[in-house]
Amino acid sequence: METLDLARLQFAVTTSFHFLFVLLTLGLVSLVALMQTRFTLTRRPVHERMTKFWGRIYVINYALGIVTGVVMEFQFGLNWSGLASYAGDVFGAPLALETLIAFFLESTFLGLWIFGWGRLNRWVHLALIWLTALTAYASAFWIMAANGFLQHPVGYEERDGVLRLVDFGALLTNPTFGTALTHVVFAALTVGGVFVTGVSAYHFIKRTNEVEFFRRSLRLGVVVTALATPSLVGAGFAQFPIISEYQPGKTHTVPWIGMPLGFMILIGMTLTFASWITLPLLVRDWVIRMRFPLYLMVIGIPLPFLAAIFGWVFREVGRQPWLVYGLLRTSDAVSKVNATSMTLSLIVFSTLFLLLAITDWVLIARAVRRGPETTPQPVAPLVVAL
């Protein structure tokens, strides 16, 4: 393979893995924030234990996800130096805002939240999880603003062969930004809802003694999924007129591009339908007593992840052969690096990311199987030794 193909493959692999971590991080932090809010208001121990159990899973996923994010950030400069030198003035702005506002601040708030358990005023501690959630969503905001620019460049002026930023506001009113961001936000909430539902269902299949704990978790998961999916699907379909106006060739860039799109829509519809059917069955815990829906809930856990990857493949592959639509071709943006170096980094990062994903899976599965703690435990592997 040539450098270009290797660099594209590397971007696809690393971004896909990164995206999986990010979706669960965004989804879980929102639910954990809701749980902690209920705890802070009611002071009932069950809500505190829920916050800790789901919070621990969230922190495991965050700790490994942040590592994939570091590699992602370097990758632009390493493999796509043409993008930085041509469009860095414009594209780099939202990307830098993401690293400064979101990445930098988010990890600091989360650190304070982790180390602040039992040491800070409970309202301050609650504010910290909301700030962590807010900065996590701010991350999605700036990344989608940067991606929206690649799909439909705005707010720039070309001078001496490079793009200069002239209207920052245009990046935020970009038609390829708002609906896509809404779509991603609700996709993350769906991932969180489906995950919490599925894990709770697993414990009911195993005849858990923690009935109240998982009953509450399952109900929260189902309600979040039911509320998120209609907006998710709506914001998905709302993008078709935008695509046909700004990227008319998108649906036939490659012969197979309809397939991921089709599967994504199918999964979105299925989850909407399933969550709304389940809502009335929450009455008197019918859905738990019927038992067979519990198995479907566990099987459903990977579905929103799959849909998200399909959607991302459609959005990004559909932009080809352009990196910045209509302005910069992907083949002109790739760094002048020989194929051997590119192969080496492809192998190193793919292997490490695969290992990270497996580790994440194993650790989350272990935390899930162990169930909620009966004695107080530290909330994070970060403070495992405290």
Partner 1 sequence: MDTLWLALLAILVMGYFALAGFDYGTGLLLPFTRDRAAALRRMTPFFLGNEVWLVAAVGVLFAAFPRLEGELLSGSHTVFTIVLGGLVLFMASVQLRLWFGLIFLGALAVAVGWGLFVASLSGVPWFVGAALMPALFALHGMTFQSRSRLFGLTALACALPVPLAFSSHPVEGLMAGPDTLAMLSWVAIPILPLVVILQWSIVAISPR
- Between residue 95 and residue 124, which ones bind partner 1 under the rule CB under 8 A? 95-101, 103-105, 107-112, 115-116, 119-120
Which of 1, 41, 70, 354 forms a contact with partner 1 (CB under 8 A)? 70
Q: How far apart are CA 361 and CA 17, in angstroms?
A: 12
Residue 334's region, left for phi above 0, alpha for psi from -120 to 50, else beta, is beta
**Nearest C-alpha neighbor of 85 from the set 163, 150, 166, 167:** 163
Q: Measured between alpha carbons, how far is 84 from 91 in angstroms, rounded to an integer?
A: 8
For the CB of residue 94, give the shortest distance to partner 1 in the complex, in Å: 9
Options 40, 208, 320, 341; binder of partner 1; rule CB under 8 A: 341
Residue 359 as a binder of partner 1 (CB under 8 A): the answer is yes
Among 1, 5, 42, 77, binds partner 1 (CB under 8 A): 77
- Cβ 210 to partner 1, closest distance in Å? 26
List the one residue from 37, 85, 208, 270 that touches partner 1 (CB under 8 A): 85
Q: Count the residues of the shown chain that bind partner 1, applying the rule CB under 8 A.
A: 72
Nearer residue to partner 1 within complex by CB, 67 or 205: 67
Q: Of the two residues 168 and 256, which places its CB atom closer to partner 1 in the complex?
A: 168
Which has the closest alpha carbon to 4: 349, 320, 383, 326?
Answer: 320
| Residue 339 within binding range of partner 1, rule CB under 8 A | no
Q: 146 or 242: whose CB is closer to partner 1?
A: 146
Contact 106, 136 (CB under 8 A): yes
Record the tokens describing residue 31, joined without a space: 């639910």
348 sits near partner 1 (criterion: CB under 8 A): yes
Query: Using CB under 8 A, which residues numbered 146 to 185 contact partner 1?
Result: 162, 164-166, 168
Residue 20 in contact with partner 1, rule: CB under 8 A: no
Would you say 81 or 208 has its CB closer to partner 1?
A: 81
Please report, for residues 33, 52, 100, 261, the alpha-carbon distance to residue 373 in angstroms, rounded to integers and kept in the order given. 19, 9, 36, 41
Q: Residue 162 forms beta bridges with which residues?
A: 159
Over the window 24 to 63, marking each residue x when it contacts partner 1 by CB under 8 A and - when it does not, the resulting string is ------------------------------------x--x
Shortest gap between Cβ of 179 and partner 1 (angstroms)? 24
Least distance CB 155 / partner 1 (angstroms): 10
Is 4 in contact with 118 (CB distance < 8 Å)? no
Residue number with CB closer to partner 1 (153 or 268): 153
Taking CB under 8 A as the criterion, the residue among 352, 371, 373, 377 binding partner 1 is 352
Residue 320 class from Cβ within 10 Å (0-12 exposed, 13-18 middle, 19+ buried)? middle
What are the angstrom distances between the C-alpha of 369 and each of 52, 202, 246, 366? Answer: 15, 9, 48, 5
- Phi, psi values for residue 363, rounded to 5°: -70, -40
Task: State in angstroms the smallest separation of the CB of 140 from partner 1.
Answer: 16
The single residue among 4, 12, 84, 170 that binds partner 1, judged by CB under 8 A, is: 84
What is the CB neighbour count within 10 angstroms for residue 351?
A: 10
Q: How far is CA 51 from CA 46, 130, 134, 225, 338, in A?
A: 9, 13, 17, 19, 49
Task: Report if residue 384 touches partner 1, rule: CB under 8 A.
Answer: yes
* Complex with partner 1: residue 23 or 334, whichever CB lies closer: 334
Q: Is 266 in the site for partner 1 (CB under 8 A)?
A: no
Residue where the block lists tokens 């858990």: 208
Smallest separation (angstroms) from partner 1 to the CB of 3: 10
Q: Which of these segments, 28-36, 70-78, 251-259, 317-325, binds partner 1 (CB under 8 A)?
A: 70-78
Q: 111: which residues sit within 8 A by CB, 6+ positions away? A: 382
* 76: contact with partner 1 by CB under 8 A: yes
| Closer Cβ to partner 1, 39 or 353, answer by number | 353
Alpha-carbon distance 163 to 167, whole Å?
A: 12
